[in-house]
Amino acid sequence: MFEKTGIPSKEMIMEKFPSIDRINKGPVAVVECYKEIPCNPCQTACKFDAIKVGEDINNIPALNSDNCTGCAICLSKCPGLAIMVVDGSKSETTVQIKIPYEFLPLPNAGDIVKGLDREGKYIADVKVINVLNPKSFDRTPIITLEADREFLYDIRNIKVVS
């Protein structure tokens, strides 16, 4: 189905998520790159040796979640915008999610925006914690969101309503 619709199945998504124990320890990347393509900037960008594509640049990137610091540098370097960072260490009821977001208007810290899933469907309102858009991100801003824990595996996009 994924190849017909562009929507990964729940199983595919779960396979890419680090364990909940790891997520509860602190920020960590989720690399949703499911198919072999000639691409490896995620590996090049990571200073912590946490993403490996390997000798053949067509390999699917593999995350070593022990090495990953959740620094989010790879998010704005991935041409597929396929990486996000999740963090379950901040609260027992919520999680923080960092996503790349290349649309205007950008939200502001403190805003409540609509949290969307991988199909673009509305899931729940989420709070914008911060918006980073330095020159080094090269026009791919990174938005940190706070969402209810139950939506950890669902929220992947936002809609900013002005």
Partner 1 sequence: MKDAELLIIGGGPAGLCAAISAAESGARVCIVERNKSLGGQLVKQTHMFFGSEKQYASTRGIDITNILLNKLNSYNNVEILTETSVVGMFEDGVVSVVHKEDNYYKIKPKAVIVATGAYEKSLAFPNNDLPGIYGAGAVQTLMNVHGVKPGERVLMVGAGNIGLIVSYQLMQAGVEVVAILDAAPKIGGYLVHASKIRRMGVPILTSHTVKEAVGKNYLEKAIISEIDNKFQPIEGTEKEFDVDVMCISVGLTPLNEMLAMRGCQMKYVSQLSGFVPVRNENYETTVENVFAAGDATGVEEASAAMVEGYLAGICAAAKIGYRPDNFDERKNDYVKQLDDLRSGPVGKHILAGIEQIVV
Q: Which residues, including other chains, have CB under 8 Å from residue 93's CB and lie 6 or more apart?
A: 148, 149
∠ CA 124-160-127, rounded to 5°: 50
Q: How far is the CB of 5 from partner 1 (least distance, A)?
A: 6
Q: In this chain, which of 6, 134, 136, 162 binds partner 1, going by CB under 8 A?
A: 6
Strand, helix or coil for residue 12 = helix
DSSP for residue 137: G
Amino acid at 112: I
For residue 10, the number of C-alpha atoms closer than 13 Å in the C-beta half-sphere is 3
Q: How many residues bind partner 1 (CB under 8 A)?
A: 42
Contact criterion met (CB below 8 Å) for 117 and 155: yes
| Binding segment (CB under 8 A) for partner 1, from list 15-23, 35-43, 85-93, 129-137 | 35-43
Q: How far is the CB of 159 from partner 1 (least distance, A)?
A: 8
Cα separation of the two ends of the chain:
34
Beta-bridged to residue 99, according to DSSP, are 143
Q: How far is the CB of 123 from ligand SF4 (least distance, A)?
A: 23
Q: Which of the residues 89 through 148 are near partner 1 (CB under 8 A)? A: 102-104, 116-121, 138-140
Q: In this chain, which of 24, 25, 41, 152 binds partner 1, going by CB under 8 A?
A: 41
Q: How far is the CB of 6 from ligand SF4 (least distance, A)?
A: 14
∠ CA 54-24-84, rounded to 5°: 45
Q: In this chain, which of 28, 32, 111, 123 binds partner 1, going by CB under 8 A?
A: 32
Question: Considering CB distances under 5 to 8 angstroms, the limit depending on partner class, which of ligand SF4, partner 1, none binds residue 38?
Answer: partner 1
User: Which residues lie near ligand SF4 (CB under 6 A)?
Assistant: 29, 31, 33, 39-42, 45-46, 48, 50-51, 53, 61, 68-74, 78-80, 82-83, 85
